Amino acid sequence: MKPLAESLQANLDALKQTLHYGLNSDVIVREFDIPTTPPTKAAIVFMEGLASKDIIDLAILQPLMLISNLDRDLRAADVLEIVERRLLPGNQVSRKDNLRGIVEGVIAGTTCLLIEGCRTALEVETKSWEHRGVSQPTAETVVHGPQEAFNETLKNNVALVRRRMRTPDLVSEILKVGTLSRVDCAVLYLEGLTNPKLVAEVKRRINGIRADQIQDTGVLEQFIEDRPFVLVPQTLSTERPDRMAALLSEGHVGILLDGSPFGLVVPVTFWSLLHAAEDHFLRWPFGTFLRLVRVVALAVALLLPAVYIAVTNFHPEMIPTDLLLAIAATRERVPFPTVIEVLIMEVSFELIREAGIRVPGVIGPTLGIVGALILGQAAVAASIVSPILVIIVALTALGSFAIPNFNMAFAARITRFVYILFAAAFGFYGIAVGVFIQMMIYVSTRSFGVPFMSPIAPFAQSSGDLILRYPSWSMELRPAFLQTQHRERQPEVGRKWTRSGGVDIPSPSPPEQPRQGVDAGSQGRSGSLKVKGGGRRA
């Protein structure tokens, strides 16, 4: 925070020393004279590759060196004022009075203008670097819905959210995170709607981070979550601007980090981790069906191998006799106990999945499919595992793939091994104990002060958008656990074109046809259509 001096040379020496001028080949210092009487010395400092040379030439150097024509005696303060107000056509110009602010701006892509005799520098917006354009989502793909995803540029990501929420109440506050590499972090919320205490808590946690570098929201998430040792995610990671905009309208807070193509939404509940962006773009029966499928998929991913172990080892009377004999016949030549057999297949599938992700190019999916087929067939042929276990492991993998949130699916994959050990030791009693412990952990977990199992535990009135997908016109209230400043999302009757008692809608008149005894320009009587139905909550 060292203040600037009046001497231009002293300021340049301090900047050159801080930016390692001479060693860094991309640090550019350009000294020139502003044509006053006598001439005023000035200099610009920028980083090559981060700043646009065309903007610097046309919007800074050319006006100051060729167009200014300040042919009278002026003080340094007057020169600074005239340059800022009349000679810099850049759309964003700000003042900096300390060395740290100048350095942070230069390494972020802006151009710093220093003038002899001024303790204040001008920072001109000239950012221009190569970046990836807006592309389709890869982790949250949808069939019906917007096809835009965040990229690595913070301003583009904020603009994508603003395009979805065209309201002046959307606030984007920029914070700095990291002590070595200070990265811009945007906190998004709706002024007048979002709980101010929630916004203050989010900013308090971000400002309290003490780390050299925060490269991605995945790292930022680990610094701001409530309970780091709980497997389940306590923030919602999304790459879709439309989903972040929808959650902001409910009263959540969004977090975007420069350089990361994913955003965070806080707080999060267990039920929102089972939701997908496509649920709201489909009609409510289809969205409800998909959510029920995901609940079944989560149960299968967690409990199916454990239930198989418990049934075959401790409770064989629960299996029909014919199926029991078939399972016994397939396992007759398998030399391992059931739990070892399950662990071998589960670990093998995790290896195949990880190898398929890490192998570059199009070989990855091919390796996963071919590896699973060949490995499963060879294991059955070698009598290492039974055929029914291959089916169970495949169904378990499909269940984990059906979970929409990646972190939630990862937590389910790890928790599955705990249930396998509990079932191998105690059967169904072990599974029951595991479910009880897991529910106790979930109930006691909070996300930014909000209970993780809200609004079920503790119970609170909500719009009903948990497992079942209610019609959009019936979800009139925002979630109670967010304690928003405005609870109502829409009026009780959202479909104003209809009433509970029905309304007469005139049908279009029939086409005019000339007929005998009637003029061609005469009109027939129009009928009417009685429409029933209302816009009230179901």
HEC secondary structure over 279-323: HHHCCHHHHHHHHHHHHHHHHHHHHHHHHHHHHHHCCHHHCCHHH
Please state the three-class secondary structure of 175-220 as a single string: EEECCCECEEEEEEEECCCCCHHHHHHHHHHHHCCCCCECCCHHHH
Pairing relationship of beta strands 263-266 and 253-257 according to DSSP bridges: antiparallel
Query: Which pLDDT score is estimated for 361?
Result: 66
Give the Cα separation of 26 and 47 in Å (integer): 6
| Count of domains observed in the chain | 3
Separation in Å, CA 374 to CA 252, 381, 390: 47, 10, 12
Instruction: Produce one character per residue of 369-407: b if its CB has 16 or more CB atoms within 10 Å, e if not.
Output: eebbeebbeebbeeebbbebbbebbeebbebbebbbbeb
Which among 429, 410, 411, 430 is positioned nearest to 419, based on CA atoms? 430
Residue 477 lies in a domain: no
Both 309 and 427 in one domain: the answer is yes
Query: Which pLDDT score is estimated for 304?
Result: 94
Residue 518 lies in a domain: no
In this structure, are residues 234 and 270 in contact, taking their beta carbons and an 8 Å threshold? no
Query: Which pLDDT score is estimated for 182?
Result: 87
Residue 424 lies in a domain: yes
Give the Cα separation of 538 and 341 in Å (integer): 50
Both 414 and 378 in one domain: the answer is yes
Both 64 and 177 in one domain: the answer is no
Give the Cα separation of 121 and 10 in Å (integer): 13
Using CB atoms within 10 Å of the CB of residue 467, give its burial: 0 to 12 exposed, 13 to 18 middle, 19+ buried.
middle
Using CB atoms within 10 Å of the CB of residue 506, give its burial: 0 to 12 exposed, 13 to 18 middle, 19+ buried.
exposed
Residue 419 lies in a domain: yes
Give the Cα separation of 238 and 214 in Å (integer): 18
Both 29 and 120 in one domain: the answer is yes
- Tokens linked to 412: 């389910």
Both 239 and 331 in one domain: the answer is no
Residue 17 lies in a domain: yes
Both 262 and 317 in one domain: the answer is no
Which among 272, 281, 298, 300 is positioned nearest to 467, based on CA atoms? 272
477 DSSP 8-state letter: B
Both 444 and 326 in one domain: the answer is yes
Residue 131 lies in a domain: no
In this structure, are residues 124 and 113 in contact, taking their beta carbons and an 8 Å threshold? yes
Residue 446 lies in a domain: yes
C-alpha 435 chain-centroid distance? 29
Chunked mean pLDDT (size 10), the chain, 538 residues: 87 91 89 82 90 88 76 67 83 88 89 90 86 83 87 91 92 91 92 94 94 91 92 93 93 94 94 88 89 93 94 88 84 86 89 81 69 79 86 91 91 94 93 95 93 87 79 85 88 74 49 46 39 40
Both 158 and 262 in one domain: the answer is yes
At residue 452, the 3 state secondary structure works out as: coil
Both 194 and 343 in one domain: the answer is no
Instruction: Please count the helices (runs of H) and the strands (runs of E) in the chain.
Output: 16, 14
In this structure, are residues 215 and 259 in contact, taking their beta carbons and an 8 Å threshold? yes
Both 98 and 36 in one domain: the answer is yes
Give the Cα separation of 424 and 266 in Å (integer): 38
Both 112 and 169 in one domain: the answer is no
Print the domain residue range for 432.
293-451
Answer with the one of 233, 268, 303 that is the final residue of a domain.
268
Both 298 and 445 in one domain: the answer is yes
In this structure, are residues 295 and 242 in contact, taking their beta carbons and an 8 Å threshold? no
pTM across the whole model: 0.83
Q: Which amino acid is at 77?
A: A
Residue 504 lies in a domain: no
Length of the chain: 538
In this structure, are residues 124 and 110 in contact, taking their beta carbons and an 8 Å threshold? yes
Answer with the one of 234, 268, 302 that is the final residue of a domain.
268
Answer with the one of 451, 467, 496 that is the final residue of a domain.
451
Contacts of 186 (CB under 8 A, 6+ apart): 154, 157, 158, 172, 173, 174, 175, 254, 255, 256, 257
